Amino acid sequence: MVSTLIPPKIASPSGIGASADAARMQRVVSFYERLPRGPAPEHKPHGLLQRYQHRYFNGKNPSAMPLVHVIGTMILLGYAQNYYFHLRHHKNNAH
């Protein structure tokens, strides 16, 4: 869509008769000439969370692995809570 922002070549200052408009058009043309062309550079993720998001959410093929990670974390936290609040009291009491 950037190509629609670039003015046509007929909008050059030499094609306009008035000098005040020509100076203003030259500023507009020089602004559009300085704009970068081509695709935007690839953004490199920094930090643990950005790398995780880039790997599983923004990549070429996003996956459902974050759901597996959440479920696994919930299972581990649930077991840790069960052990702390209940199972540790029954450790060696099999009489």
pLDDT bin (cut points 50, 70, 90) of residue 23 is confident
Q: What is the pLDDT of residue 58?
A: 82
Q: Which two tokens stand for residue 67?
A: 């759901």
CA-to-CA dists, residue 6 to 11, 36, 65, 92, 95, angstroms:
10, 11, 42, 78, 85
pLDDT the model gives residue 7: 60
Q: Label residue 63 left, alpha or beta by phi (over 0 means left) and psi (-120 to 50 means alpha).
A: beta
pLDDT band at residue 92 using 50, 70 and 90 as cut-offs: low
Q: What does the mean pLDDT of the chain come to?
A: 80
Query: What's the confidence (pLDDT) of residue 48?
Result: 94
pLDDT tens track for 41-85: 888 889 999 999 888 888 778 899 999 999 999 999 999 998 888
